Structure 1
Amino acid sequence: MSDTTPKYIFVENHIKAAIKKKELVDKLPGERTLAAQLGVSYMTVRKSVENLVTQGVLYKVPTKGTYVNYEKPQRSKNYTIGYFLDATMIAGISSPYYSLIFDAIEKVAAKDDYSVVYFSDNNPDRLNRTLSKVDGVIATCIPRIEHVILEMKQSVPVVVIENSAADKVIPSVIIDNFNADVESVDYACSLGHSKIGFMTGLDDSDVGKNRYAGYQYGLRKNKIELDKSLVFNGNYSYQSGIEGAEYFLTLDELPTTVICANDSMALGAIRHFRQEGLNIPEDISIIGFDNIDVAAQIVPSLTTIASPIDEIAKHSFSILKALIDGKTIEQQHIALPAHLIIRDSCATAKNKSAAA
């Protein structure tokens, strides 16, 4: 072993060489046994084995051990991957956004004769049964279910979307949410708005935190002081959009623009503002995030950030397929830009129109 070679890389190379020479054809020795044989620590071997599982070189069978991947029983002629979305998430797969994600993954996977199955149950027994039927998983990652994703990673290759995992060994494809909402604030300011409200998403993930942080930075960039009374804590649901609109209507002075952390909340807000006699965008402008199908269909059509759904599907599937094939990943973590689509739900601020 070279003095400059990290020990875990040395262990990975040793295992790969043993597989290539057919010295290792089935079950890997126990991690402590392997550590003693190679003169390295148990934790070094564990890291190496986890990396090789992620790469698809090895796979784990819970309670039984770690095996060489080419000995893994073939389940079907074509590969099958799973799309995991935890059942506790708002609306789950019935959400317009997540159904678009699933459809996009299914479409790109079909080009390589891969099937895609959706699952949401994280009960350990049922989860293991599902994992025994798939070759890899694309998982929507949120902190409260990250332990489930770590369990999956022990059995099959995993790629996460939405949020990066705390375990950076797991590849990720995410959106640059921060700069996207900076762009939303910039656009509102370009129309002369300075009293800009915000409906947050859940604050238990990087998605919600980064969209709110982008809003805050956008205000500072445009020399507008943050007014926390103009921030409503939502949860991405249509109902919370209605509740957010109700809240803003209780203020002494209504914001002239409301930026929402997703389109579902924006649609709920539009409905309630209209019910209360306000016109969109003459009385209040609305900006969403995601660009779900209905955003272009409502009247007025919704100005929104377009999530790069096709790119998310393409990159996450490409990485997962490479892992299943045992190939090296050139770019393990990808952050995709998302940009504003200007439609009809925003108008020039009344004070700017009057000044003109």
Structure 2
Amino acid sequence: MSIKQVAKLAGVSISTVSRCLNSPDQVKPKTLAAVQSAIEETGYAPNALARNFRRGKTGLILVVLQSVGLPFWEGVMRGINGVARETGYSILIRETASSQPELDDYCKMVMSKEADGIIVLASPSPISGTSQYSTQARRTPIVLGCENVTDEMAHIPSVRVDNRRASSEATQYLLQLGHQRIGFIAGSRGSLLTRDRERGYFDAMKASPQGEHREWVVNGDQTIDGARRATRKLLSLPEAPTAIFCANDEMAMAAIYEIKRRGLRVPEDISVVGFDDTRYAAIMDPPLTTVVQPTEEIGERTMRRLISAIEGHDIGEAPEIVEHRLIVRDSTAPPRSDTSGQAQNQSAERMA
């Protein structure tokens, strides 16, 4: 059976059948009843079309992210897809390089009922401008998976870890090992993605005997090249850090590479901690100590929260916090004697 046969049996056009499925509120009750009867009589996709017809939904969720190839999103998408299969939804993935026209188009898909809701994964807002947010977003089911990347998205419900607390605990772990000079490789300047992680680092350092040192914080731009530059800068300080905490695992990988390139050892000379526990963290050399984000759980909860909004429930604006944990591997150890700082600087001079 096809949609054409459903239309013929109901005595309507194919476009009318499509409108009944996607925008039932725009169709006369008599026509709706005829199309529903035809769907049931023909048995045409009863598990999808008929159910969506009754609910007035498309059964389609739009997931917007900047790059589907980033390792971190594997677990998140696995969680989203698992709940989607369980609840009968289909997932449409759209990548965007911060292109606002594209994002506006995605939002229009929901407004025109081509999709039921939007999940945004570390991507700019699907709605341009605060005035549009106040009118459109209240009618558009949107949930953020992980952090918001712009201030205008602060009031959109999200599912994430407590980045500030997680970062503070990772820094405290290094302090408990005996490190006092702890560098931090942040994201881009002003990046909301890593802002709370930087704040957590400062929370812990302020409470330490050494206190906070702004020169120990260097922007790594959330890239491998940026983190390598940041590591070189930290190693060239008069008192080089004995430990480096990176705002994500990718930058931690780059830091370890640069440390080894300088003739230093991890963790014997410098300890390194990451954030995220991506798929490469456990097989690095050495395996990386890092903050674990439960990515699959984040995906599952994000999807369930969105479905709740689609079904008309008030899901509020407060973030839903999931628990993180610090997994200790071989990239961290107590610091050597204080002569290690001198050795690091001598190594940096040899490589200059």
Q: Name the residue aligned to 2:62.
A: 82
Contact 1:281–1:344 under 8 Å retained in 2: yes
**Are residues 1:162 and 2:151 paired?**
no
Query: 1:330/1:249 Cα in 2 relative to 1: closer, same or farther (>3 Å)?
Result: closer
Q: Name the residue aligned to 2:310.
A: 324
Seq. identity, %: 29
Give, in angstroms, the shift of residue 167 of structure 1.
6.0
Residue 159 of structure 1 aligns with an amino acid whose one-letter code is V
Give, in angstroms, the shift of residue 166 of structure 1.
4.0
Choose which of 127, 148, 153 in structure 1 pairs with 2:106: 127
Choose which of 280, 284, 294 in structure 1 pairs with 2:266: 280
SS of 2:337's equivalent in the other structure is: helix
SS of 2:87's equivalent in the other structure is: coil
Tell me the TM-score normalised to structure 2 length.
0.71
**Are residues 1:108 and 2:89 paired?**
no
Cα distance in 2 for residues equivalent to 1:205 and 1:254: 25
Give, in angstroms, the shift of residue 221 of structure 1.
2.1
Contact 1:177–1:207 under 8 Å retained in 2: no
Residue 140 of structure 2 aligns with an amino acid whose one-letter code is V
Give, in angstroms, the shift of residue 146 of structure 1.
6.0
Cα distance in 2 for residues equivalent to 1:292 and 1:70: 40
Give, in angstroms, the shift of residue 247 of structure 1.
1.4
Cα distance in 2 for residues equivalent to 1:337 and 1:268: 27
Cα distance in 2 for residues equivalent to 1:227 and 1:142: 32
Residue 133 of structure 1 aligns with an amino acid whose one-letter code is E
Indicate the larger mover: 257-266 or 196-205. Answer: 196-205
Give, in angstroms, the shift of residue 137 of structure 1.
0.9
Query: For each residue in 1:200-244, what CA deviation from the matched residue of structure 2 results, as whole angstroms up to 9, or x when unmatched?
Result: 113444432111110001012223221122111122112222122
Residue 328 of structure 2 aligns with an amino acid whose one-letter code is I
Q: Name the residue aligned to 1:30.
A: none
SS of 2:82's equivalent in the other structure is: helix
Q: How does 1:214-229 map to 2 (within 5 A)?
A: 214-229=200-215
| Unaligned ranges ≥5, structure 1 | 1-24, 28-68
Please tell me whether Structure 1 or Structure 2 has the larger radius of gyration of its CA atoms: 2
Residue 102 of structure 1 aligns with an amino acid whose one-letter code is M
Give, in angstroms, the shift of residue 319 of structure 1.
0.9
Q: Name the residue aligned to 2:289.
A: 303
Query: 1:204/1:108 Cα in 2 relative to 1: closer, same or farther (>3 Å)?
Result: farther
Contact 1:142–1:204 under 8 Å retained in 2: no
Tell me the TM-score normalised to structure 1 length.
0.70
| Count of residue pairs brought into register by the alignment | 281
Give, in angstroms, the shift of residue 332 of structure 1.
4.9
Contact 1:296–1:302 under 8 Å retained in 2: yes
Query: 1:203/1:160 Cα in 2 relative to 1: closer, same or farther (>3 Å)?
Result: farther
SS of 1:198's equivalent in the other structure is: strand
Q: Name the residue aligned to 1:136.
A: 117
Query: For each residue in 1:102-128, what CA deviation from the matched residue of structure 2 results, as whole angstroms up to 9, or x when unmatched?
Result: 233223322222222211344257435
Q: How does 1:198-217 map to 2 (within 5 A)?
A: 198-217=184-203
Contact 1:81–1:138 under 8 Å retained in 2: yes
Residue 215 of structure 1 aligns with an amino acid whose one-letter code is Y
Give, in angstroms, the shift of residue 336 of structure 1.
2.3
Cα distance in 2 for residues equivalent to 1:128 and 1:319: 18
Cα distance in 2 for residues equivalent to 1:302 and 1:159: 31
| Unaligned ranges ≥5, structure 2 | 1-23, 27-51, 341-352
Cα distance in 2 for residues equivalent to 1:145 and 1:250: 42
Cα distance in 2 for residues equivalent to 1:258 and 1:224: 15
Residue 192 of structure 1 aligns with an amino acid whose one-letter code is G
Q: Name the residue aligned to 2:223.
A: 237
Contact 2:145–2:299 under 8 Å retained in 1: no
Q: Name the residue aligned to 1:335.
A: 321
Q: How does 1:335-354 map to 2 (within 5 A)?
A: 335-351=321-337
Choose which of 70, 75, 99 in structure 2 pairs with 1:95: 70
Q: Name the residue aligned to 2:176.
A: 190
Cα distance in 1 for residues equivalent to 2:257 and 2:228: 7
Contact 2:127–2:137 under 8 Å retained in 1: no
Contact 1:83–1:102 under 8 Å retained in 2: no
Contact 2:107–2:126 under 8 Å retained in 1: no
Indicate the larger mover: 209-218 or 142-151. Answer: 142-151
Query: 1:118/1:218 Cα in 2 relative to 1: closer, same or farther (>3 Å)?
Result: same
Choose which of 128, 139, 153 in structure 2 pairs with 1:147: 128
Residue 81 of structure 1 aligns with an amino acid whose one-letter code is I
Contact 1:286–1:303 under 8 Å retained in 2: yes
Q: Name the residue aligned to 2:251.
A: 265
Query: 1:301/1:353 Cα in 2 relative to 1: closer, same or farther (>3 Å)?
Result: farther
Q: Aligned-residue CA RMSD in angstroms?
A: 3.1
Query: 1:330/1:160 Cα in 2 relative to 1: closer, same or farther (>3 Å)?
Result: closer
Q: Name the residue aligned to 2:238.
A: 252
Give, in angstroms, the shift of residue 153 of structure 1.
3.0
SS of 1:147's equivalent in the other structure is: coil
Q: How does 1:7-22 map to 2 (within 5 A)?
A: none
Choose which of 68, 71, 92 in structure 2 pairs with 1:117: 92
Q: How does 1:166-177 map to 2 (within 5 A)?
A: 166=152, 170-177=156-163
Cα distance in 2 for residues equivalent to 1:332 and 1:261: 24
